[in-house]
Copies of this chain bind each other. A is one copy, B any other.
Amino acid sequence: MSTSSLEFDQWLQLRITETESVLNTVLPLAEQAPQRLHEAMRYAVLGGGKRVRASLVYAAGEAALQGKPMAAAQEKALGLAAAAVELIHAYSLVHDDLPCMDDDQLRRGMPTVHVQYGEACAMLTGDALQPLAFSALAQMPVAPALVVQAMGLLARAAGSLGMAGGQAIDCDSVGKSLSQTELQTMHSLKTGAMLEASILIGGIVAGASSSVRQGLQHYADAVGLAFQVADDILDVTADTKTLGKTAGKDAADNKPTYVSIMGLEGSRNLLQELAQNAALAIRPIGASGLRLKQLAEYIVDRDR
């Protein structure tokens, strides 16, 4: 299906709907044993969310095609890849919210998984969502060599040199003051690694050329950082209702953020600069980079 004529909002909604549909298929039914675990997994994953990572997978896939029509197998593979990155993201939120981590009660305006299902079940929910992501990738109907590349990328991005590693630095840094460089390292792992993986996996699955991959890499560097800066700004400017999670939590927890280090004005300037870098990075990709460009603007301008 050609989606190039759609307005950005329509395109985004279409890709979100497709992702939800694949997630719904990939997740075991709540009626299937062990029921309680499967119910909790569905609660954690299907409870809304912006699906930014999934949208990046699709946008990068479209960019990689360079105007060629998307084959049905590629469309299906991108859907599974989009589901995979959302499953990893969902698991990370469940574990982050646990009492031994951020001890958060509210997520997307709903009780967090451990509040709803208990701590042990919440931990197992996260533990089971993670391999489900790899199961989804294993089902992609594209060349096995591409599947292996995508799996290797996802595994690295989720692990100690990516998201989990960033989380570990975050843990160690509570109550400490970090320099901007240290803060950037932490975020580039904690949030940036999975955003980057989403972008690169989308490109790989759709058979990106090496020059497109290079553009995607530079775009990912800028967007990964922009996402976190925008998040830090929202933590101080938005209210809990709009965010769907507790606003002002970072400041209350004495966690270092871009705003605490650079101030609100400085953070906003950095954000605009990163948005420009993202746009520059995909210029060589040409017209098929449209959705990537629009997603970068969306990430910078979002209000939640």
Taking Cβ atoms with an 8 Å cutoff, the residues of A that contact B are 28, 33-34, 36-38, 41, 92, 95, 98, 100-101, 119-121, 123-124, 126-128, 130-135, 137-139, 143-145, 147-149, 151-152, 154-156, 158-161, 164-165, 167-169, 171-172, 185
Contact = CB atoms under 8 A, between A and B. Distances in A.
Contact of A34 (B36, B139, B147, B168): B168
Q: Give the number of copies in the complex.
A: 2
B121 A164 contact: no
A156 B131 contact: yes
Contacts of A152: 134-135, 138-139
Interface of A: prevailing SS: helix
Contacts of A167: 124, 127
Contacts of A38: 160
A36 B144 contact: no
Contacts of A145: 144
A119 B132 CA distance: 24
Contacts of A120: 100-101, 171
Nearest to A101: B120
A168 B131 contact: no
